[in-house]
Structure 1
Amino acid sequence: MSAQELENQYAPSKWVVRLGAEEALKTYSQIGNEATKRARATRKTLLQVPYGDGDGEKVDIYFPDKVSEALPFLMFVHGGYWQSGSKDSSAFMVNPLTAQGVAVVIVAYDIAPKGTLDQMVNQVTRSIAFVQKQYPCNAGIYLCGHSAGAQLAAMMLLADWTKHGVTPNLKGFFLVSGVYDLEPIVYTSQNALVHLTLEDAQRNSPQRHLQVAPTQPVDPACHMLVIVGQHDSPEFHRQSREFYQTLCQAGWKASFEELPDVDHFEIIENLTREDDTLTQIILKTIFQEF
């Protein structure tokens, strides 16, 4: 692939058909901001809860009206190529999920250039350990990661939980429009702020780890959903399909979904709606457990 083609393949906004690239990014952030304001105004919340000592190590927790010890928790890890995005504009799915009895946790982590990718993986690991320790009677922790957030969520399959003194009750992963082999990113402008070396990229590529040394699921019932939008780029499609195949080969309970008529941003924007396909997939996955 030429340098220019590689650049295009890993620029999700260039594949949006309904809007121009800049407008797509602006709309995404606007919908995220509005959804977060609405969620904070209408839901029971614990905001800016520290899961570590760093300034950026915080989570926002949104609860359903009926709070109990045994709630399912969906933890959302935002995207933005490890260099943009914030928990303060990422509460897209809060209202539809809390309305159905799911607590939602939006995770903050130190984006580049402040944070390195290794730090981000460590922060997401610690945020999950924190939720498990705070809510030990939870009815399952479900991780949802979007784009770069899907890579961070997928890295949790390789986490050494003994270091954190707890084994989280992970019941499902929703990996949405993600990148699982980071080597191509090293050669794009997306790496200007992240400063990934080839070694960093390989160390943080769940695709490579699972191919070389498949880790067995801690809980065989844990469901892995790899999801991509119809209007994601061919490289995003390839990465998602190959990661799904690798999960299957490693013995995970995995499924693959290509959602029609949505692009890289719409796939998450639509989570503000209860009748959205992905919202329904998430709810069905969570509640078929009980």
Structure 2
Amino acid sequence: MNEYWNSFTREKTDEQYNPTLWNHRLPPEKLLPAHVEFTESHSSNYRQAIKGGLQTVSFGEGELSGSMDIFRPENVAEDAPIVIYIHGGWWQWFSKEQFSFLAEPFNRKGIAVYMPGYRMAQDWNNGVPMESIVKQTQYAMAKVLKEAELRGTSAVYLVGHSAGGQLVGMLHQTDWSQFDISKSTQDKFKGAFSLAGLFDIRPLVNSFVNDTINMSMESAEKVSPQLMLLREGRKLCPLHLIVPEFDTPEFFVRQRSIKKSY
């Protein structure tokens, strides 16, 4: 795999991993406020409209516990397919509530949507925030898989954007037997979709993204899906990689290297 990113200056890395500089819609300084306003307003509207079809449940244990929003309006059957959505924000911004609006089109098609939250990287005090976020989201998905078994759901799909796309990559390769999930339940995991997800996050160690996280290179290696070794004989569900049209050249190179690795 090409490791040319090691030669990037901090300035070059920041430029290549800052999507606000590459959008074709708004000036960089206006993009993030517009994004926040749009997502929050549309999400607030849907949360109010769905009323009794929205439930918040807990998952995990101890410091790895969290909460998850479940969007299951009246038209969604008890055993309906499930989509799990994990939000992005470089592991340090945004929240599950901000992306509630994404549940609406799935709900209209009779699909239940589960949105787990995770503690922001800067809020962990254990020195390994990235590994902790991965473990926390594993607990969340384990809960969904067990509920899918109880409900008789036939299919669970996993979707994540940006940082959420990286978490999708980690969850895609998780050995769910460690969470006491049966083989038949694991087989309900039918597909994973990573939207603009990073599968090798080592370049971020020397970037603005890491100024708050303080991630070590060792930690970055442990949570880079592309660097994980699969146990021989394990069969994974399909993983779909979706690349935004106007991502940076570095993002496109990274996505091409992912396709060669899987």
Q: Same fold (TM over 0.5)?
A: yes
Residue 196 (structure 2) aligned to one of 170, 177, 199: 177
TM-score (norm: length of structure 2)? 0.86
The equivalent of 1:121 in structure 2 is 134
Q: Which amino acid counterpart does residue 141 of structure 1 have in structure 2?
A: V
Structure ranking higher in helix proportion:
2
3-12 vs 18-27, greater mean Cα deviation: 18-27
- RMSD between aligned residues: 1.9
TM-score (norm: length of structure 1)? 0.78
The equivalent of 1:218 in structure 2 is 235
Report the CA distance between 1:55 and its aligned residue: 8.6
Pairing of 1:200-239 with structure 2 (within 5 A): 200-210=219-229, 213=230, 218-219=235-236, 222-239=237-254
The equivalent of 2:105 in structure 1 is 96
1:155 to 1:55, Cα distance in 2 relative to 1, 3 A: closer
Pairing of 1:33-48 with structure 2 (within 5 A): 33-43=40-50, 44-48=52-56
Instruction: Determine if contact 1:132/1:138 at 8 Å carries over to the other structure.
Output: no
1:170 to 1:216, Cα distance in 2 relative to 1, 3 A: farther
Distance 2:225 2:213 in 1: 18
The runs of 5 or more residues in structure 2 that have no matched partner are 1-7
Q: Which amino acid counterpart does residue 112 of structure 1 have in structure 2?
A: A
Q: Which amino acid counterpart does residue 12 of structure 1 have in structure 2?
A: P
Pair 1:142 & 2:157 matched: yes
Identity %: 30
Pair 1:58 & 2:67 matched: yes
Instruction: Determine if contact 1:75/1:105 at 8 Å carries over to the other structure.
Output: yes
Report the CA distance between 1:96 and its aligned residue: 0.9
**Which whole-Å deviations, capped at 9, do the CAs of 1:31-69 have from their partners, x for residues lacking one?**
221222122122243433101245960100101432323
The runs of 5 or more residues in structure 1 that have no matched partner are 248-290
Instruction: Determine if contact 2:77/2:110 at 8 Å carries over to the other structure.
Output: no
Report the CA distance between 1:172 and its aligned residue: 0.9
Distance 1:216 1:28 in 2: 43
Q: Secondary structure at the match of 2:53?
A: strand
99-108 vs 34-43, greater mean Cα deviation: 34-43
